[in-house]
């Protein structure tokens, strides 16, 4: 009778394994790229040229390569213009990951605009800032509708905050109210998107490695970015689920629950896949 094998414990990264030289090189290249392209993007914005929407995708693709994010795409991205992309939110890394694939603008909480460096970059991508306090929903919806009527795709994180990446938090339905109104381009396409950080180097991500990618709680952004930059590469699975419209559901809350179910299911499937 064959002897049973005891499964070896999942290995996790130790920061001592990281390379400070690699981290310094990556962040220097990232800073150089940002300084080189920001003036060009500013000119494109001032002149209102169409390339102002395309340059950020080029920038985010290079950013992913520089800092070590290997993006795997599953499913088919909506080609309707505009589309509201609804995604889970694990980290500020979600921005370059989704920005490298989608030509569009992010919807972010107001305080993001005051962040050092990242606040400036968010303005360069024409981010729509929203105040999540109660009583402001109608004004936020109108701001989003104006951008959608202009044909702009928007990327929304309805969890309202980032988390540890082990689960998807419940979606808030308030900002999806924009899908209830038929705009200039007709019924709004809403596409759920799952973003899953599945591997760190050659290792499955696991609970112990996930904090190197997830940004939450009282983590300091600068320290967190430096720690990851010193490590290897990370595999990110982005799954585009079938787009829908509000007409497919009885209410906004039902639409929100559908998006949550698809996104949470996609994340769970990606995280539980067997290692290659």
Tens digit of each residue's pLDDT (9 = 90 or more) over 67-77: 999 999 999 99
Q: Within 13 Å and on the Cβ side, how many CA atoms surround 96?
A: 21
What are 82's two structure tokens?
Answer: 């505009």
Domain at 248, CATH number: 3.40.1130
Would 252 be classed as within a structural domain? yes
What are 79's two structure tokens?
Answer: 């080609």
Tens of pLDDT, residue by residue over 107-138, are: 988 888 877 778 888 999 999 988 766 555 67
Task: Give 86's pLDDT tier (boundaries 50, 70, 90).
Answer: very high
Would 237 be classed as within a structural domain? yes
Would 50 be classed as within a structural domain? yes
Whether the predicted pLDDT of 161 surpasses 90: no
Supply the pLDDT for residue 133.
64
Supply the pLDDT for residue 7.
38
Would 14 be classed as within a structural domain? no
Would 4 be classed as within a structural domain? no
The number of domains in the chain is: 1
Would 275 be classed as within a structural domain? no
Supply the pLDDT for residue 217.
72
Would 128 be classed as within a structural domain? yes
Supply the pLDDT for residue 135.
55
- The pTM of this model reads 0.89
Q: Are strands 128-130 and 189-200 parallel, antiparallel or unpaired?
A: unpaired
Query: What residue numbers bound the domain in which 187 lies?
Result: 19-269
Whether the predicted pLDDT of 206 surpasses 80: no
Whether the predicted pLDDT of 13 surpasses 60: no
Tens of pLDDT, residue by residue over 25-77, are: 999 999 999 999 999 999 999 999 999 999 999 999 999 999 999 999 999 99
Of 133 and 177, the structure prediction assigns the larger pLDDT to 177
Q: Are strands 189-200 and 234-240 parallel, antiparallel or unpaired?
A: antiparallel
Q: Hey, which residues does 197 pair with through a beta bridge?
A: 236
Whether the predicted pLDDT of 274 surpasses 70: no
Would 77 be classed as within a structural domain? yes
**d(C-alpha 268, C-alpha 276), whole Å:** 17
Task: Give 17's pLDDT tier (boundaries 50, 70, 90).
Answer: low
Tens of pLDDT, residue by residue over 239-251, are: 999 999 999 999 9
SS3 annotation, the chain: CCCCCCCCCCCCCCHHHCCHHHHHHHHHHHHHHHHHHHHHHHHHHHCCCHHHCCHHHHHHHHHHHHHCEEEEEEECCCCCCCEEEEECCCCCCHHHHHHCCCCCEEEEEHHHHHCCCHHHHHHHCCCEEECCCCCCHHHHHHHHHHHHHCCCCEEECCCCCCCCCCCCCCCCCHHHHHHHCCECCECCEEEEEEEEEEEECCEECHHHHHHHCCCCCCCCHHHHHHHHHCCCCEEEEEEECCCECHHHCCCHHHHHHHHHHHHHHHHHHHHCCCCC
């Amino acid at each position: 009778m064959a002897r049973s094998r005891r499964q070896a414990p999942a290995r996790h990264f130790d920061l001592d394994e990281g390379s400070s030289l690699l981290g310094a090189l990556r962040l220097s290249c990232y800073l150089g790229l940002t300084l080189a392209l920001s003036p060009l993007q500013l000119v494109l914005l001032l002149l209102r040229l169409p390339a102002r929407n395309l340059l950020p995708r080029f920038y985010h693709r290079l950013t992913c390569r520089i800092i070590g994010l290997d993006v795997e795409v599953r499913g088919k991205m909506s080609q309707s213009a505009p589309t509201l992309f609804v995604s889970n939110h694990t980290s500020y890394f979600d921005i370059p990951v989704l920005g490298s694939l989608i030509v569009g603008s992010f919807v972010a909480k107001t305080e993001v605009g005051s962040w050092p460096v990242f606040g400036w970059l968010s303005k360069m991508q024409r981010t729509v800032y929203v105040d999540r306090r109660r009583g402001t929903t109608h004004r936020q919806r109108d701001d989003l509708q104006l951008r959608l009527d202009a044909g702009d795709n928007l990327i929304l994180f309805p969890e309202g905050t980032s988390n540890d990446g082990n689960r998807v938090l419940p979606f808030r339905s308030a900002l999806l109210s924009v899908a209830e109104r038929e705009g200039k381009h007709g019924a709004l396409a809403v596409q759920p998107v799952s973003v899953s950080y599945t591997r760190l180097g050659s290792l499955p991500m696991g609970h112990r490695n996930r904090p190197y990618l997830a940004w939450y709680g009282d983590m300091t952004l600068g320290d967190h970015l430096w720690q990851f930059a010193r490590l290897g590469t990370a595999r990110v699975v982005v799954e585009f689920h079938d787009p829908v419209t509000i007409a497919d559901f009885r209410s906004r809350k039902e639409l929100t629950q559908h998006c949550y179910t698809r996104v949470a299911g996609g994340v769970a499937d990606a995280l539980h896949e067997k290692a290659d």
